[in-house]
Amino acid sequence: MEIPPKSPDGSEKSPQSKELVPSNTGSTLCMSSRSESVWTSASRSKWDIYHKPVIVVSVGAATFLFGTVITSLSCFLTKNKNVYKMSGPAFLSLGLMLLVCGL
């Protein structure tokens, strides 16, 4: 292996030190992660905070109830019994998943 010659006065940097660029990621990361509007704004109302989970829970409850109705139709109606037995549990599971995720 060849060793690159060193300059006598030491002013020339090695190739490894040329590639390294000092960074201030610690300070810039913290500054970029904070949104000014979040940290400096006035307190938000409860509806601003909870409106998305309330919507998800209400859609989940409606889907769960729809799945319950579709599943119970398979007991009363005999014409499309296989369709009700297949789609009812799908709506039940989707509604339950949305309820749990919303809560």
pLDDT in tens, 25-71: 555 555 555 555 556 667 888 888 888 999 999 999 999 999 999 99
Q: Please give the mean pLDDT across all residues of the chain.
A: 77
Beta-carbon count within 10 A of 3 CB: 5
Per residue, the 3-state secondary structure of 20-42, as one string, reads: CCCCCHHHHHHHHHCCHHHHHCC
Domain definitions of the chain by residue range: 47-101
How many Cβ atoms are within 10 Å of 49's Cβ, its own excluded?
A: 11
Amino acid identity, position 41? S
Whole-angstrom distance, CA of residue 98 vs CA of residue 103? 8
pLDDT: which is higher, 1 or 60 = 60
- The whole-model pTM stands at 0.56
Residue 80 has what DSSP assignment? T
